[in-house]
Amino acid sequence: MSKSDAELTKVFKFDAAKFDTAETTRTIFTSAAGGLIAPGVQAIHALGFPNKEIQDFATDGAAPTELLKRADIVRKQMQAKLAGLSESLRDPIEPKLQTTNCFHWDATDTDTISFDDAEISFALNTKMNSFRGETVSAPWSEFAATQGTAVWTRRGNKIEIYYAVAIRGALGDPWDHTEAEPGLVMYSAPDGIGAHVTIKPNMAAIKKNWKGYLLYQLDSQKIADYGGLWDKTRCTAEWKSSLKHPKSFDLVSSVRATMMEFYGHGTGRSVKESLAFGWYLSGIATCWLEFIQPAPAYKGKAQYGLFMANALGHVVLEYPIKDQWDDLGSDDWSVCNKNDLMVNGNSQV
């Protein structure tokens, strides 16, 4: 048993030595560390989300005239850039940067956003208080959270979303950044014209988790083999069977405890629930490779890290558990061909 395995076993009363490879052990405990440290939630608290000034602007009932003017400018710039790339792009497209994102819309009345079990409806040409998260896995490791105002419009047979970000805060991976450079915050006026917003961090809500920190120190350092995110042979029949039947992980209680704590109720997951959560995330990281892989140019040069685990944890918490394998684990999320990009960049289609 390695020193790290011995320490993990001591702290968590969990036999780390039983796993078949060092990569499997590292993936499991990186997942558990991500759940314990919760860097996404920490970033949200540090940025003081939700910001009231942005909320007030997004919900004042005024028409989004100025935002739509800015959307026209951005659209024209993007179309010009795409046109310039048309001849140089190879097919299929191999991006230099790949990110995993989430987008959240907050409405105070059902006239703006309404939903039931079958569908969700968004009002067009209406301002909405919105949030977005972004996880970068290569060529650097980063998590960013934003708040701003989104407007949905219809152009021909397409729906277009313009998102005016007023606050963006980014955390760099602790292994890549010094303590003197912990992160970067950019902020502006909600409408892009007036006075900038005031950021009020919720420092009282930021909690240190020494067990998560210990896990990350011991098991997320640089490794000799960076092929784990591309090695599909690690997704064994046993892993597939378990992921298709998530009840075997007893995730329901873990997810419920996590969400209750997030909304100010309860004390969060127990150690046992955190390990079950980490075990499930490690299975996702082993089998849903296309969902989390860095850009092809960095094959064999990136590892499964804290922010990647944070992104996967967000999926588990927000998406119906029973549907995750069929809806998320079976799609190739990295495929993008030249025709798709050009069509989506043409506002006349």
pLDDT digits (tens, 9 = 90+) for 64-122: 999 999 999 998 888 888 777 766 666 667 777 778 889 999 877 678 998 888 888 99
pLDDT value at position 224?
A: 63
Last residue of a domain, one of 151, 175, 208: 208
pLDDT class of 347 with cuts at 50, 70, 90: very low
Query: Which structure tokens are listed for 182?
Result: 């912990």
Please say if the pLDDT value at position 11 is more than 50.
no
Query: Which residues are within 8 A (CB) of 260 and not within 5 positions of it... i.e. 6 or more apart?
Result: 266, 268
| One domain, residues 13 and 49 | no
pLDDT value at position 157?
A: 84
pLDDT class of 331 with cuts at 50, 70, 90: low
| One domain, residues 184 and 293 | no
| One domain, residues 197 and 265 | no
> Among 95-109, 257-271, 289-303, 306-320, whose mean pLDDT is lowest?
257-271
> pTM, whole model, 2 decimals?
0.85
| One domain, residues 142 and 268 | no
| One domain, residues 107 and 54 | yes
Last residue of a domain, one of 155, 188, 208: 208
Q: Give the end-to-end CA distance of the chain in Å, rounded to a whole number.
A: 60
Please say if the pLDDT value at position 180 is more than 70.
no
pLDDT value at position 10?
A: 52
- Tell me how far apart the alpha carbons of residues 147 and 103 are, in angstroms, rounded to a whole number: 10
| One domain, residues 219 and 184 | no
Beta bridge partners, 168, equal: 146, 186
How many domains would you assign to the chain? 2
Structural domain span for residue 4: 1-38+212-349
Last residue of a domain, one of 208, 223, 250: 208
The more confidently predicted of residues 133 and 271 is 133
pLDDT value at position 170?
A: 92
| One domain, residues 159 and 186 | yes
pLDDT value at position 62?
A: 94
Please say if the pLDDT value at position 151 is more than 60.
yes
- Whether 49 and 40 have beta carbons less than 8 Å apart is answered as no
| One domain, residues 296 and 163 | no
| One domain, residues 159 and 265 | no
The more confidently predicted of residues 42 and 15 is 42
What percent of the chain clears pLDDT 90, i.e. is strictly above it?
25
| One domain, residues 139 and 234 | no
Taking only the tens place, the pLDDT of each residue in 22-68 is 777 788 888 888 878 888 888 999 999 999 999 999 999 999 999 99
- Mean residue pLDDT of the chain comes to 80
- Whether 100 and 137 have beta carbons less than 8 Å apart is answered as yes
Taking residues 254-272, report their average pLDDT. 73
| One domain, residues 248 and 147 | no
DSSP class of residue 92?
S
Please say if the pLDDT value at position 304 is more than 50.
yes
| One domain, residues 345 and 321 | yes
Cis peptide before 139 (omega within 30 of 0): yes
- Tell me how far apart the alpha carbons of residues 169 and 111 are, in angstroms, rounded to a whole number: 30
